[in-house]
């Protein structure tokens, strides 16, 4: 189990409920809309899609008066708390507060006048609205560049501390902090250093991670490293993609690390080998697509053969293995029925829903005895045809030895 760093807690209150960040609250998932905030209906549609994909909090840009007016219409209809993203114009932060947002994000790299920063903090305090200090290596305060020569971990942390000091001058303490960078090692070191000097909750992210799959790898490398060290209270994947992918990735990461209760399918699949009786990649992708939007908190396995598949995936709640033109369905490693290969994915989805509804014991008890016997016969046939070494390892080793002598 991961021992999380103890932090203060802030609360983001939306029209449909509150989300706590920090303390003993579950790590939350965030994303950001890419619509024009003035487009109320379009933005709300994206917010609902993000919430359905696992986002607990959604950020919207507030970069113009029309966006602030849009927020006034969006906030009361949103299924999750809304954060207003503010750059350059402190008056837009005040307007966003008037619109009723649950939180502000301020960038200390481009709102630098102390009087303006303190005024926003005072107004947020009066409304009970938290603020995220959003430091970004790509838009660091010029004074930090002058002092440190580049966007170093020390520069990012000092920028956050300076902003925090302005807040403390007006007795405002409902603060989250982020020190993001697109360079993963820089991002990791900045958050480690920040965690040493503050107990405010931290918002993790690798900014401008880029498009998937590379962006997913970069973001996961940074976020997961810190989460494994107990650092981080809320996360965002910053991908060049549909933001729904950000929310889905965040949720999947937290579930994979045991930091959130599983609500979605965890699909595992074998990498395939010479024993595979089906195109595992194709079947796995089809199964992933079919199960993606179903709220089924189970682990599902797609295996390429019936010789080792059920045994190798015995810890999965449900699985299917191909063999002899058929799909062999198993629950907790126990074979329950056999279906035609063409029906593998449909049968897997049907069985997943029945498993969640009825439980594993009931599904195993309802196993088709004839199918179990049939599956064992298929297994023996494939063993006889392929042997214990379908990849002919012994022959390959002998060949290698000859080549090297």
pLDDT digits (tens, 9 = 90+) for 322-374: 888 889 999 998 999 999 989 999 999 999 999 999 999 999 999 988 877 88
Same domain, 249 and 277: no
- Residue 2 domain-assigned? no
Same domain, 244 and 121: yes
Contact 108, 114 (CB under 8 A): no
pLDDT above 70: percentage of residues in the chain:
98
Q: Which of 97-106, 304-313, 325-334 has the highest mean pLDDT?
A: 97-106
Residue holding tokens 């063993």? 383
How many structural domains comprise the chain?
2
Same domain, 287 and 243: no
pLDDT tens, position by position, 368-398: 888 778 888 887 887 787 776 666 667 778 8
pLDDT of residue 309: 79
Same domain, 135 and 45: yes
pLDDT of residue 388: 65
Q: Which residue from 290, 216, 281 is spatially nearest to 253, judged by alpha carbons? A: 216
pLDDT of residue 389: 64
- Residue 392 domain-assigned? no
pLDDT over 90 at 164, yes or no: yes
| Average pLDDT in the chain | 93
- Residue 401 domain-assigned? no
Give the largest CA-CA distance in the chain.
81
Same domain, 252 and 277: no
Range from 38-52, 150-164, 319-333, 341-355 carrying the lowest mean pLDDT: 319-333
How far is residue 207's CA from residue 198's CA, in Å, rounded to a whole number? Answer: 21
How far is residue 105's CA from residue 134's CA, in Å, rounded to a whole number? Answer: 6
Q: Residue 400's pLDDT band (boundaries 50, 70, 90)?
A: confident
The two three-digit tokens of residue 162, written as one number: 């300076």
Same domain, 191 and 331: no
> 256, 285, 311: which is the final residue of a domain?
256
> 210, 236, 256: which is the final residue of a domain?
256
> 236, 256, 276: which is the final residue of a domain?
256
pLDDT above 90: percentage of residues in the chain:
80
Distances 87 to 63, 113, 134 between C-alpha atoms, Å = 7, 13, 10
How far is residue 305's CA from residue 270's CA, in Å, rounded to a whole number? Answer: 9
CATH code, 369: 3.30.413.10
- Residue 364 domain-assigned? yes
CATH code, 120: 3.20.20.20
Same domain, 219 and 249: yes
How far is residue 51's CA from residue 29's CA, in Å, rounded to a whole number? Answer: 10
φ, ψ dihedrals at 197, nearest 5°: -115, 0
- Residue 98 domain-assigned? yes
Instruction: Taking residues 61-72, report their average pLDDT.
Output: 98
Same domain, 80 and 42: yes
pLDDT tens, position by position, 293-302: 888 999 999 9
- Residue 1 domain-assigned? no
- Residue 393 domain-assigned? no
pLDDT of residue 306: 82
Distances 369 to 266, 311, 337, 383 between C-alpha atoms, Å = 28, 18, 8, 21
- Residue 327: give the domain boundaries: 266-386
Same domain, 159 and 98: yes
Same domain, 27 and 162: yes
Same domain, 322 and 378: yes
- Residue 234 domain-assigned? yes
pLDDT of residue 371: 79
pLDDT of residue 320: 93
Range from 169-183, 189-203, 336-350 carrying the lowest mean pLDDT: 336-350
Q: Residue 95's pLDDT band (boundaries 50, 70, 90)?
A: very high
**Which strands sit side by side in the sheet containing 318-323, from one edge to the other?**
266-269, 299-303, 318-323, 326-331, 334-340
Same domain, 239 and 273: no
């Amino acid at each position: 189990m991961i021992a999380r760093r103890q932090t203060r807690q802030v609360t983001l209150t939306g029209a449909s409920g509150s989300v706590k960040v920090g303390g003993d609250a579950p790590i939350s998932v965030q994303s950001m809309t890419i619509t024009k905030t003035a487009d109320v209906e379009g933005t709300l549609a994206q917010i609902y899609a993000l919430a359905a994909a696992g986002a607990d909090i959604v950020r919207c840009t507030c970069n113009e008066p029309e966006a602030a007016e849009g927020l006034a219409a969006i906030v009361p209809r949103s299924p999750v708390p809304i954060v207003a993203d503010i750059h350059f114009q402190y008056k837009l932060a005040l307007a966003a507060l008037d619109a009723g947002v649950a939180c502000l994000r301020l960038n200390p790299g481009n709102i630098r006048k102390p009087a303006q920063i303190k005024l926003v903090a005072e107004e947020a305090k009066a409304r009970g609205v938290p603020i995220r200090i959003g430091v970004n290596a790509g838009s660091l305060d010029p004074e930090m560049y002058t002092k440190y020569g580049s966007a170093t971990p020390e520069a990012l942390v000092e920028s956050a501390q300076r902003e925090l000091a302005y807040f403390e001058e007006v007795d405002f303490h409902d603060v989250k902090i982020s020190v993001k960078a697109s360079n993963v090692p820089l991002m990791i070191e900045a958050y480690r250093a920040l965690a040493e000097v503050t107990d405010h909750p931290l918002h993790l992210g690798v900014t401008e991670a880029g498009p998937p799959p590379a962006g997913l790898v970069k973001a996961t490398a940074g976020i997961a490293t810190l989460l494994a060290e107990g650092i981080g209270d809320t996360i965002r994947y910053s991908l060049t993609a549909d933001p729904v992918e950000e929310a889905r990735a965040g949720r999947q990461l937290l579930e994979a690390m045991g930091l959130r209760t599983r609500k979605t399918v965890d699909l595992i699949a074998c990498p395939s080998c010479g024993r595979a009786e089906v195109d595992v990649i194709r079947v796995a992708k089809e199964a992933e697509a079919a199960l993606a939007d179903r709220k089924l908190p189970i682990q599902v396995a797609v295996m390429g053969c019936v010789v080792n598949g059920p045994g190798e995936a015995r810890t999965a709640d449900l699985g299917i293995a191909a063999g002899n033109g058929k799909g062999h369905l198993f629950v907790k490693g126990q074979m329950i029925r056999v279906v035609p290969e063409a029906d593998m994915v449909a049968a897997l989805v049907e069985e997943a829903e029945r498993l969640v509804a009825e439980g594993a014991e009931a599904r195993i008890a309802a196993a088709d005895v004839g199918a179990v016997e049939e599956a064992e016969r298929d297994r023996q046939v494939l063993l006889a045809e392929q042997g214990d070494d379908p990849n002919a390892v012994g022959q390959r080793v002998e060949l290698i030895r000859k080549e090297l002598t």
